[in-house]
Amino acid sequence: MSKQTELIKRRYNRIAPVFNTMDNMIRSSWRREMLAKAEGEVLEVGIGTGANLPFYPSKVTHVTGIDFSPKMIKLAQKEAEKAPVPVKLIEMDAEELDFPDASFDTVVTACVFCSVPDPIQGLKEIKRVLKPGGKILMLEHMRSDNTALGKLMDAANPLIVRIWGANINRKTMENIQVAGLKVKQEKQLMGSIRRELTLK
Ligand SMILES: C[S@@+](CC[C@H](N)C(=O)[O-])C[C@H]1O[C@@H](n2cnc3c(N)ncnc32)[C@H](O)[C@@H]1O
């Protein structure tokens, strides 16, 4: 694990106890709507405290949730016990997924690619473990397409990343392309800052 990864992991371990109270980034309705598209064998990357778990539909056979923060995983365990589908949680780095190629029908991420230290490597790993014909569902916040707002986000980012561990100015659309993935559907949820994406 790189030094940067260790640093971000420590930050998430630190904020885990207050994460649910402070995090209002994603509405439950957005989670429910996106997860209605999930099916089969699912990998959720950066599962955090398990906020998505109540919303998985019955066409999902099993969810494997990974996160590099043991403290976040511990909180997700409580959600996993009440989840409508079977769940297994594993401590793992998104940049080095310990799964064979083509293992999952659906890969889910929610507010994760703002934090993964090397987002392109993380996205390449997702591509590798996705079965041919599978789908990637993402609910992510990213740098605004608005020039002035984007610059403001760049200026505020160093402070935010220090406190929270998340970058507010990630160019996620570009990262997806560089990782060799294609956006099939895009829905802007809050201007260009929060988006729901379906990739293949
Ligand atoms: C902002 S939280 C979002 C949590 C959850 N997905 C949600 O919707 O509430 C980001 C999560 O990604 C995890 N994370 C960031 N980088 C990671 C990496 N390289 N490998 C595994 N998990 C990572 C963090 O530990 C944290 O739990």
What CATH number is associated with residue 107?
Answer: 3.40.50.150
Cα distance between residue 186 and residue 113, in whole Å: 16
- Residue nearest atom 8 of ligand 1, based on CA coordinates: 110
Q: What is the pLDDT of residue 21?
A: 62
> Which residues approach ligand 1 with their CB closer than 6 A?
5, 8, 12, 26, 46-48, 51-52, 66-69, 72, 93-95, 110-112, 115-116, 166
Which residue matches tokens 């099916």?
A: 39
Which is the closest atom of ligand 1 to the Cα of 72? 27
Estimate to the nearest angstrom the gap between the alpha carbon of 191 and the chain centroid: 19
pLDDT grade, residue 49 (50/70/90)?
A: very high
Which is the closest atom of ligand 1 to the Cα of 52? 8
Tell me the one-letter amino acid at 117.
P
> Tens of pLDDT along 160-176?
888 878 899 999 999 99
Tell me if 113 sits within 8 A of 140, measured CB to CB. yes
Q: What is the pLDDT of residue 23?
A: 66
How far is ligand 1, taken at its centre, from the CA of residue 63, in Å?
16
Residue 119's domain comprises 3-199
Cα distance between residue 20 and residue 51, in whole Å: 8
H-run or E-run covering 80: helix 70-82
102 backbone dihedrals φ, ψ, rounded to 5°: 50, 55
Q: Answer yes or no: is pLDDT of 24 > 90.
A: no
Strand ranges in 92-129 using DSSP code E only, listed in sequence order = 104-110
How far is ligand 1, taken at its centre, from the CA of residue 46, in Å?
3
Give me the mean pLDDT over the 177-181 stretch.
97
Which is the closest atom of ligand 1 to the Cα of 47? 6
What does the block give as tokens for 113? 């690619």
- Residue nearest atom 25 of ligand 1, based on CA coordinates: 69
- Residue nearest atom 12 of ligand 1, based on CA coordinates: 46
Cα distance between residue 87 and residue 196, in whole Å: 23
> Tens of pLDDT along 92-117?
999 999 999 999 999 999 999 999 99
Estimate to the nearest angstrom the gap between the alpha carbon of 161 and the chain centroid: 16
- Residue nearest atom 26 of ligand 1, based on CA coordinates: 48
What DSSP designation does 152 have? H
Give me the mean pLDDT over the 7-20 stretch.
78
Q: Answer yes or no: is pLDDT of 178 > 90.
A: yes
Average predicted confidence (pLDDT) for the chain: 93
Ligand 1, pocket-test mutation among 6, 8, 12, 15, most atoms within 8 A of CB: 12
pLDDT grade, residue 8 (50/70/90)?
A: confident
Q: What is the pLDDT of residue 165?
A: 80
CA distances from 22 to 19, 37, 54, 73 (A): 5, 27, 19, 17
Q: What is the pLDDT of residue 50?
A: 96
Cα radius of gyration (the chain): 16
How many domains does the chain fold into? 1
- Residue nearest atom 27 of ligand 1, based on CA coordinates: 48
Q: What is the pLDDT of residue 40?
A: 98
Three-class SS state of 135: strand
Tell me if 83 sits within 8 A of 18, measured CB to CB. no
